[in-house]
Chain A
Amino acid sequence: MQFMLLFSRQGKLRLQKWYVPLSDKEKKKITRELVQTVLARKPKMCSFLEWRDLKIVYKRYASLYFCCAIEDQDNELITLEIIHRYVELLDKYFGSVCELDIIFNFEKAYFILDEFLLGGEAQETSKKNVLKAIEQADLLQEVSTQSVTSEHLCKCIATPQ
């Protein structure tokens, strides 16, 4: 995967994960063009489109579009499953996730994504394991915000699997 974008029906960006090095200017240009293209698609059209030399896979969940750019050899259908898995993870984490959750807790959305994908590929195929890791990391974060004995507690919580 080269990048993943989440945006609303009005075209507002809610998350952007880039797995290829591009300048801010280029990212903005790509985002603008792609958002426009996807929003112009009619409901009867399929979830795939060719854009530049990439394959775009997108799916709408409620008010959010999840949009991935994959390479020629990547499997479009399994990418739909990847998107779906991410949505499930968000849903489990936030409890019936909606766009507002992602707006107000955008950093959490990134943290969850970063436990699921790394460098554009799935690092963990078990839903349970991703959620467990996030849970543990959140706990670690809570503990570390208490400035007392944080280092000691860090060591306790960090159990190898």
Chain B
Amino acid sequence: HLPSLRVQVLIRTIRTARTQAEEREMIQKECAAIRSSFREEDNTYRCRNVAKLLYMHMLGYPAHFGQLECLKLIASQKFTDKRIGYLGAMLLLDERQDVHLLMTNCIKNDLNHSTQYVQGLSLCTLGCMGSSEMCRDLAGEVEKLLKTSNSYLRKKAALCAVHVIRKVPELMEMFLPATKNLLSEKNHGVLHTSVVLLTEMCERSPDMLSHFRKLVPQLVRILKNLIMSGYSPEHDVSGISDPFLQVRILRLLRILGKGDDDSSEAMNDILAQVATNTETSKNVGNAILYETVLTIMDIKSESGLRVLAINILGRFLLNNDKNIRYVALTSLLKTVQTDHNAVQRHRSTIVDCLKDLDVSIKRRAMELSFALVNGNNIRGMMKELLYFLDSCDPDFKADCASGIFLAAEKYAPSKRWHIDTVMRVLTTAGSYVRDDSVPNLIQLITNSVEMHAYTVQRLYKALLDDISQQPLVQVASWCIGEYGDLLVSGQCEEEEPIQVSEDEVLDVLEGLLVSNLSTPVTRAYSLTAIMKLSTRFSSVNRIKKVVSIYGSSIDVELQQRAVEYNALFKKYDHMRPALLERMPIMEKTATNGPTDIAQTNGETDSTILDTKHLPSITHPARRCNYHICFCLAGIPPMTAYNKNGLKIEFTFERSNPSPNIAVITIHATNSTEADMTEFVFQAAVPKTFQLQLLSPSSNVVPALNQGSVTQVIRVLNPQKQQLRMRIKLTYTHKGSPVQDLAEVNNFPPQSWQ
């Protein structure tokens, strides 16, 4: 048969393929040849064939039929075979396949091989891909090698031990004795891997951590020697001696010093020394400084040292190397809460980073900027952040807008400024604003009573320019519906009032209804706004016409509203003014307010802006609408229960086929800060009634009125007796179970008569 192609010849051949199909053909041909060679148990060329297979595997072709061959290679006595065999095992085998266990015995033998390079191969393979079972079986061998005087093997055994511990944490104890004199080694390889091993053990076990604290002086000494020692060609990188080891030692010191006064004190001097003496012109020096800063910030360091660390980060921000700027911003983000004032001093540099070209740097600069906003710098910061919002990536705009809203709410120097800021966001990034911003902004506007005229005017003008940004359009519609009377009567004091007629306003709102740019939600807002103007404008006939047209809209939401609004003009005209009157000032639910953290080092009052949490209220427009709906069904809704932040409202429908059945829907909402989970609603009625409880929509009542749980109850009342109910509520709140019983006696007469 054909002689087996040499690996490099195969590679060259495959690379001549001009199409994917051609390549696949070559590969298939070669694989067939390799397969038959494997079947024939050809020892001579097995190694070469597996190597070729590995190349083809890297190109993306299947190579599982070579797995057993790798095992045969590993078992061979030839070093070449073992080298390729172990490589193949690491590339083709994984711990999910039982076949990998067949390696265990070979590895065990090779761990005890007379040739250290064979031992090295097996240690490497075990440390790279050993499964838990393999690690259990072979941990003893690894532990033995951890105590050898052969540094070539000892360093590998240390990292192999790390892997064993990661896979089988219970085995950590057995490596403890061998760690005794690891740090006395002169060999840097052993030192480095030993520090990694110690780090792993300390991170996993508080007992180990306390045990190894006594190593701090020794670690400090080693670090000191590295810094003070003269030029060592073997370990030198740009004038720094073994930066890899320095970084790992600093990281271990961080873990050992954290929360421990004595250890922190013992390392204080060396940290200061590294921080001040390390060369910063190259990446390698900055890598060490970076690790040093992280350590200083994490342990109980003196305030002087902390300031030094923050200043290093501040200098990093000015570095030409964008990688350095990136890690500086990341680190500053971590420390902004605990060392707020120190970070504030670098605020202008941080703000400059908003203009950086790198996306990740910009994002971090944005997050940091929000964290640094306070009552003193709000005007200046907001200018920068609004400018940033204008030009930043679309990916950021939502987060940026949310952050701006939150900052404005906390620190607005005046209501006018607040409204202007909101307007600016809506007009420049209006389509990126989150959905839940709309109700929040509506609440803000409602409660800024003296700004109503100004707000509606600005929003109206914005609509004239652009109706594509839905959140803007929704807020504007709502506002015009509420305050349209102020708009046409030109009551604005803050700026020159515009002259606009009722018809012009209605033109704009009707324009939203027909525009392709408007979403269904936006159309609903517009229709409701038009309706509300029927009690504020005199052109009622025009409004009646619009409303009646939409009574046959294919959009079900719009149709329903239009039908109900029609009814408001006819049968329920007497209710119309009351229903459509101005919204009152809304109660604010709890927001995530600034958190005061008691500062170490006497620094005061940090404020955190958590850009992910926004204050929220039940959507006022929606609320208004469902009240109208159910009013029109004739039976007003009622509050059945309202205690400890849990509010349960009942709404009613008559079940048409059988007027003796009342269909009640419960709506449970939660105004507290924590979700109410495992929420269960139960009800009992007197004997003359029958009750059926259908499944609830969910059993989590979200915090801050961000949603409700609904559930339908059907009550059969053949004797038309006065409806009474006893309800039982159970739920878990902030980890504790809550239970309550209540009587519901305030059913409206229409619900049972």
Contacts and interface: CB of A to CB of B under 8 A. Distances in A.
A141 B80 contact: yes
B544 interface: no
A126 interface: yes
Interface string A12-42: 0111100101111000100000000000001
A123 B156 contact: yes
Contact of B243 (A76, A78, A124): A78
B31 interface: no
Interface string A136-148: 1100110111000
Contact of B152 (A81, A144, A161): A161
Interface in B119-141: 120, 123-124, 127-129, 131
Given A76-B323, A107-B87, A123-B189, A161 B95 contact: no
B284 A123 contact: no
A110 interface: yes
B287 A141 contact: no
A133 B156 CA distance: 13
Nearest to A140: B79
B117 A122 contact: no
Contact of B244 (A42, A46, A82): A82
Interface of A: 13-16, 19, 21-24, 28, 42, 44-50, 73, 75-78, 80-82, 103-104, 106-107, 110-111, 114-115, 118-119, 121-129, 133, 136-137, 140-141, 143-145, 150-151, 154-155, 157-158, 160-161
- Please name the 5 residue pairs, one residue from A and one from B, whose CB atoms are nearest each other, closest first: A77-B287, A144-B79, A158-B115, A46-B322, A119-B127
Contact of B80 (A75, A118, A127, A145): A145
Contacts of B54: 106-107
Contacts of A136: 117
B131 to A, nearest CB: 8
B433 interface: no
Contacts of B464: none
A46 B361 CA distance: 8
16 contacts: A23-B94, A42-B357, A80-B323, A107-B7, A107-B83, A118-B124, A118-B159, A118-B160, A121-B193, A123-B156, A123-B159, A123-B189, A125-B245, A129-B234, A161-B151, A161-B152
Interface of B: 7-8, 11-12, 15, 51, 54-55, 58-60, 77-80, 83-84, 87, 91, 94-96, 114-117, 120, 123-124, 127-129, 131, 149-153, 155-156, 159-160, 162-163, 188-189, 192-193, 196, 234-235, 237, 242-245, 247, 251, 283-284, 286-288, 290-291, 322-327, 357-361
Contacts of A78: 243-244, 247, 284, 287-288, 291
B277 to A, nearest CB: 18
B242 A125 contact: yes
A72 B618 CA distance: 39
A125 B246 CA distance: 11
A140 B80 CA distance: 8
B485 to A, nearest CB: 51
